[in-house]
Amino acid sequence: MSVTRTPGAEADVLRGQDPELADILLGERRRQSTTLQLIAAENFTSPAVLAALGSPLANKYAEGYPGARHHGGCEIVDVAERLAVDRAKALFGAAHANVQPHSGSSAVLAAYAALLCPGDTVLALGLPYGGHLTHGSPANFSGRWFDFVGYGVDAETGLIDHDQVRTLARTHRPKAIVCGSIAYPRHIDHAFFREVADESGAYLIADAAHPIGLVAGGAAPNPVPYADIVCATTHKVLRGPRGGMILCGEELAERVDRAVFPFTQGGAQMHTIAAKAVAFGEAATWAFATYAHRVVANAKVLAAALAAEGLVVTTGGTDTHLITADPAPLGPDGRTARGLLAAAGLVMDCCALPHGTARGLRLGTAALTTQGMGEEEMTSVAALLAGVLRGEIDSWQARAAARGLAERFPPYPG
């Protein structure tokens, strides 16, 4: 589902006052419209979302919650936040929603603050298998403040090792279990994790930052009925502004709200919250549901095409928008491959590979699908990617091909 109008007024406004920054904005717009965006965590928002982000709501200081702010003059922004909350609750079937977190990491921090005390044990997917920094990295607050135990994936299938999860939960009796990943291409079995959490007396936190947009469109299972708290981002497949949110039941609503404000954050970003409301409204439509299913269909085709070209696709495919693959059979490792592909106009990430020492590629189909690309284009992208890595297509030829494809499917037509 393509968006329909070119948002360029911001550069026009800046050109007379700050031409240096105007050139930067135009340069980024040019980069996005002439290269292929395959980063799994990125997408193109609608012009309506961009309009809300650049609205006068950016001027308003609004610490607190609707009806209980620490600043005057919040009667209008209160309406905007209530609208975002109501739309989020309806979209995901949640009893309570907090739309103030500035990011997915902020949402996870607040979830931990609501449920845990420093030193508590938490069971989460290990970082080498696709866990996020907030799932116990020693460089992150999570690894410094809590005792994380990591579960992994089966060495042969690449799927989460459910037997190991159950054994670790029984052994360590964690205060919370986290299910979710930044590089796991399959659906999470939320019912299984709920069962294990109940057996061990743990809270269940679902980190649904990546699949939440698919959940909104009915293309992925909803964690809300199973998890005590669901943390998510509002960008990625959901196609909203960069930010976070938390979904939970009424019994934890007050604890979650107090963990967000005043414990971990100050004033809410009201322009971003308004943009979240826009995105939630868009995600409730039939058109978005169609889009979400097309994202998954494109990812399945792209994964199969990459495998046919010789890359080793983790878990043998994907259920989501996300693919991880080892490019080593074609020559370069993940880090080298990412650089070669960026120079060729194919922008993606690298990631850890399960049970491996080298890094692989992580790519997604959300942005390309927003541009209107389909299964035929996914096959072309795979062939272009493989040709670059095999050294059959030089960077100039590849960049021209990527630019041609991007210009056929502009992110903002017009």
Please identify every residue annotated as catalytic. Answer: 61, 63, 207, 233, 236, 242
Place of tokens 């550069």: 11
Determine the Cα–Cα distance for residues 63 and 157; give it in Å rounded to an integer: 48
Q: How many CB atoms lie within 10 A of CB 325?
A: 28
- State the pairing for strand pair 203-207/229-233: parallel
Cis amide bond preceding 262, omega within 30:
yes
Listed in order, strand segments (DSSP E) in 46-152 are 64-65, 68-69, 96-98, 121-125, 147-151
Which of 402, 385, 323, 309 has its CA nearest to residue 360? 323
Determine the Cα–Cα distance for residues 182 and 205; give it in Å rounded to an integer: 15
Determine the Cα–Cα distance for residues 109 and 103; give it in Å rounded to an integer: 10
Determine the Cα–Cα distance for residues 389 and 385; give it in Å rounded to an integer: 6
Q: Which amino acid is at 385?
A: L
Q: What is the three-class DSSP state of 390?
A: coil
Instruction: Identify whether the C-beta of residue 243 lies closer than 8 Å to the C-beta of residue 272.
Output: yes
Determine the Cα–Cα distance for residues 140 and 126; give it in Å rounded to an integer: 14
Instruction: Identify whether the C-beta of residue 227 lies closer than 8 Å to the C-beta of residue 194.
Output: yes
Q: What is the three-class DSSP state of 177?
A: strand
Strand order in the sheet with 312-313: 312-313, 322-326, 359-364, 349-352
* C-alpha distances in Å from residue 322, one per residue of 183, 295, 299, 376: 7, 9, 7, 18
Q: Write the CB contacts of 335 (distance below 8 Å, at least 6 apart in sequence).
A: 350, 359
